[in-house]
Structure 1
């Protein structure tokens, strides 16, 4: 009864850097066994990306817990034999090479499907396996720009701005997790594996739900509007006497209550603010009036008053404040991983496990090729085919 939901699922992980490793780490957090296949000598590119804790990359460690590592050269006959032995036992293969690379290696979907009919193959790429851009390389910044995500991020007249995290990679990684589990559910019914094709660009467009719908409904092109919501007001970051807080009012009833609590009951009867639509049309004027009042007391004063009276609000946090926040700690959203030399690094946890009493880190981020001998022994190989006598 204590088994994690993906216990018993084996994933062969050919991914590197962020989108793919984030996908496989999430699968590993939920109980799957992740066997990370890396390039001999250098490993995942992320191992060379800082910041570093001793000789270990914090970037790599943040997305590679709960994995084993074996280094294989998929162009070398002996290592290919080991890889194919792994595929015989695997439920899922995840890769994020440029489309066409797996086919050149002899491991394209049609070839794998014929040899391993129950295998689920998950392919993450910049633009997907089809379309005129399929062969183009991409990083997070490329798809943020091309998808329109950057066009609705930041402040007016401030120039293009990326989202503050690598949402192009992270979004693709999460959609890949959903696709993997969906394919496994279907296999449970049909007995057959399938190909999951995840495009980073597609995933960014999917995350533009509100912007695309607004363009479809109005014909106007959405642009950057800072922190406020495009369709609800007041719904923004506001300045108090000693810091910032967020106030998010989603209906007329909440707005009336907010005005009463702030001692501004006359705003409710002001034609500019009587309805949500009119408040959106006069958002700047309303924000000035609210901040004139909010600057009269501390952030703590307003947070207590508003939260105690059912107004959705929250403090604006830096990352250092987030990791110390009691709600984040209570929900288990912080994890600790260790470098191969034993140094500790705090990383983000897994929200799917939070509060469930599960241990998120069951295996530390692996050293390159650190599990080779054990994996080979498990496969019945004293050494890799082609090695030794």
Structure 2
């Protein structure tokens, strides 16, 4: 692990549910020492699991972390956190803004004990403004951020995306912000308050769909499996399943037409230019559907790839991890510990000279509490008192 870029960075993880744990997982997988701080059972803590601790979701989110329990509503628990913050590089939290202020563990409070601390906050809607106190979850952000209005088939109503894209994007952006703040600290010696929210992340991820409105005043709608602007791009039925094909642009369209044995479509008066193909997309899609129904998905994938036309099968999740390229990229990673075999989702970043490793599965709540408190400077008698009084 010594070759990983974040070795030596200590992170206190106060997050729950998904966006915050996603951010911290990025740091843990790349070598940071992460301490996951959870509410003791005696104080009504459930850990924000969203499922059993040994289940796939929790294990995937919280690998490579140590766990301790701490009652932050107790003044002694808050003092322990302040003591730990003195020795930490990063704190990540996703409390509602009013909650962390009430607990006196906000950025201002922790900065007072460590000027170099990077404090990262993830919220539903931002740290201030008219929605500051609203609770926020992924699906709410997908709706408010516009994604559900452009997902799904026309006329069938809004449709959520099949993954928590707002949560995941907010987590990844938070991790990026933390890394930028760590680089800035090397120059200035000062920490930083890094902030993002599910709503900001979702609006950011609208990308070109947002730009269509901001620049051109065009409100995008639902187009199902078609690309909003790149025609023809769609998912078509084949003789034994479905295939995605993306031959948008004159060059790819010409290759596609020749490859599928329909050169007459190249100069067809309704499809000869990109503008015509966009205008007459329904007729073109119908013609392509007739052609692609004549062979199997595998046959089309081989033929179209040979012609340099972007295409691919539509895989179920089990098929994803059987795909030879996915296997080559190592997207399923084995946890390297002494427990029963456990595979989790690998990282999607590659770097020369180092590779993230999964060295620790998520263990029992508070399994490392005593060891961490000793590292922070507390003696055994004091720690036992904390346990007796429900502080840990």
TM-score between both structures, scaled by the size of structure 2: 0.92
Pair 1:355–1:272, CA change in 2 (3 A): farther
Pair 1:29–1:383, CA change in 2 (3 A): same
Q: Which residue of 2 aligns with 1:35?
A: 35
In 2, distance between residues paired with 1:383 and 1:227? Answer: 61
In 1, distance between residues paired with 2:114 and 2:379? Answer: 24
Aligned match for 1:364, one of 342, 361, 366: 361
Q: Cα distance, 1:70 vs. partner?
A: 0.4
Aligned to 2:97, the other structure's residue is in SS state coil
Q: Which residue of 2 aligns with 1:373?
A: 370
Q: Which residue of 2 aligns with 1:143?
A: 141
In 2, distance between residues paired with 1:171 and 1:178? Answer: 10
Please tell me the root mean square deviation across aligned C-alpha atoms, in Å: 2.1
Alignment check: 8 A CA contact 2:232 2:281 kept: yes
Q: Which residue of 2 aligns with 1:254?
A: 252
Of 237-246 and 356-365, more deviation after overlay is shown by 356-365
TM-score between both structures, scaled by the size of structure 1: 0.93
Pairing of 1:106-185 with structure 2 (within 5 A): 106-185=104-183
Q: Which residue of 2 aligns with 1:26?
A: 26
Deviations 1:27-60 (A, max 9, x none): 111111110000001655443x33x5xx723221
- Structure 1 unmatched runs, 5+: none
In 2, distance between residues paired with 1:44 and 1:358? Answer: 33
Q: Which residue of 1 aligns with 2:221?
A: 223
Aligned to 1:304, the other structure's residue is in SS state helix
Aligned to 2:355, the other structure's residue is in SS state coil
Q: Cα distance, 1:220 vs. partner?
A: 3.0
Q: Which residue of 1 aligns with 2:231?
A: 233
Deviations 1:340-367 (A, max 9, x none): 9x45443321112489762530221131
Deviations 1:326-346 (A, max 9, x none): 111111111235999x45443
Q: Which residue of 2 aligns with 1:269?
A: 267
- Structure 2 unmatched runs, 5+: 387-392
Aligned to 1:290, the other structure's residue is in SS state helix
Aligned to 1:374, the other structure's residue is in SS state helix
Alignment check: 8 A CA contact 1:246 1:314 kept: yes
Q: Cα distance, 1:267 vs. partner?
A: 0.6
Q: Cα distance, 1:384 vs. partner?
A: 7.5
In 1, distance between residues paired with 2:72 and 2:380? Answer: 16
Q: Which residue of 1 aligns with 2:390?
A: none
In 2, distance between residues paired with 1:93 and 1:147? Answer: 27
How many pairs were matched up? 384
In 2, distance between residues paired with 1:295 and 1:26? Answer: 43
Alignment check: 8 A CA contact 1:229 1:235 kept: yes
Alignment check: 8 A CA contact 1:237 1:245 kept: yes
Q: Does residue 347 of structure 1 match 2:344?
A: yes
Q: Cα distance, 1:383 vs. partner?
A: 3.5
In 2, distance between residues paired with 1:95 and 1:80? Answer: 14
In 2, distance between residues paired with 1:138 and 1:384? Answer: 41
In 2, distance between residues paired with 1:171 and 1:332? Answer: 22
